[in-house]
């Protein structure tokens, strides 16, 4: 199978490697779609402080289960799935208290350990999440960044009836705005210095109760819209 490898900043090659064997508690996933994150771009330019080379990228991903380890009973071949990219020890203090994102040995696929940018990827079944059959693979690859937005908004608590300001109209900012609106926020303002990003936000976020403004006009927009209770900075 083909596997992507970034050998050094700015250089990507594709090499032939064997299809991985699945362990008893793993599944083999045929990779169908991979998102390119801002962090991936930092790696490409040699600007990511916690990545060394060579590295196989890919952490926003969707695929199809094609083989099951003998101990795996919760999935079936042909099932659409996404993969959780965090690799954590499960034993340190943060892990034991449900904060595995703060694991003392945390690694992330595509940065400190092998990512999913290959035709097939063997992974622990515990890191696999099914996605609806009607969901496209493109949408499935967005589950990981969407989870970031959901987690961020949930840290606030109940946002019903609140006015929310999102500072930064990039992908995560757009997702935060959608999540906040979906969770019942009364008004959501998105601000950015980039007209391109604001235009993209407008294209995907057409809805009542949403305001789009350049950062320089933020105070004027805020004055015209009432008090904002929470601000998220992308």
Last residue within a domain, chosen from 84, 107, 141: 141
Q: Do 30 and 130 fall within a single domain?
A: yes
Q: Do 180 and 78 fall within a single domain?
A: no
Q: Do 110 and 161 fall within a single domain?
A: no
Q: Do 152 and 114 fall within a single domain?
A: no
* CATH at residue 155: 3.40.50.720
pLDDT band, residue 191 (cuts 50/70/90): confident
Q: Do 208 and 106 fall within a single domain?
A: no
Host domain of residue 174: 148-233
* Percent with pLDDT over 70 in the chain: 88
pLDDT in tens, 68-103: 999 999 999 999 999 999 999 999 999 999 999 899
Last residue within a domain, chosen from 87, 107, 141: 141
Q: Do 40 and 120 fall within a single domain?
A: yes
Last residue within a domain, chosen from 141, 176, 199: 141
pLDDT in tens, 132-163: 999 999 999 999 999 999 999 999 899 999 98
Q: Do 104 and 187 fall within a single domain?
A: no
Q: Do 137 and 153 fall within a single domain?
A: no
Q: Do 113 and 37 fall within a single domain?
A: yes
* CATH at residue 136: 3.90.180.10
* Contact present, 87 and 77 (Cβ < 8 Å): no
pLDDT at 225 over 60: no
Q: Do 136 and 152 fall within a single domain?
A: no
Q: Do 114 and 91 fall within a single domain?
A: yes
- Tell me how many domains the chain contains: 2
Q: Do 113 and 159 fall within a single domain?
A: no
């Amino acid at each position: 199978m083909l596997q992507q490898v970034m050998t050094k900043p700015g250089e990507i090659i594709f090499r032939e490697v064997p299809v991985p064997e699945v362990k008893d508690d793993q599944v083999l996933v045929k990779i169908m779609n991979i998102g390119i994150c801002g962090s991936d771009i930092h790696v490409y330019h040699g600007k990511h402080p916690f990545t060394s080379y060579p590295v196989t990228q890919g952490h926003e991903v969707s695929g199809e289960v094609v083989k099951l380890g003998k101990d795996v009973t919760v999935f079936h071949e042909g099932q659409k799935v996404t993969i959780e990219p965090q690799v954590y020890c499960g034993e340190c203090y943060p892990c034991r208290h449900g904060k595995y994102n703060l694991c003392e040995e945390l690694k992330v696929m595509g940065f400190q350990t092998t990512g999913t940018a290959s035709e097939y990827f063997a992974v622990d079944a515990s890191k696999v999440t099914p996605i609806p059959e009607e969901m496209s693979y493109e949408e499935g690859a967005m589950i990981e960044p969407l989870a970031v937005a959901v987690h961020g908004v949930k840290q606030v608590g109940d946002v019903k009836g609140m006015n929310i300001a999102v500072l930064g109209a990039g992908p995560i900012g757009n997702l935060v705005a959608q999540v906040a609106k979906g969770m019942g926020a009364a008004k959501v303002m998105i601000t950015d210095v980039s007209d391109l990003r604001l235009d993209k936000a407008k294209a995907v976020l057409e809805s009542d109760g949403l305001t789009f403004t350049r950062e320089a006009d933020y105070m004027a927009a805020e004055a015209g819209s009432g008090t904002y209770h929470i601000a998220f900075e992308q």
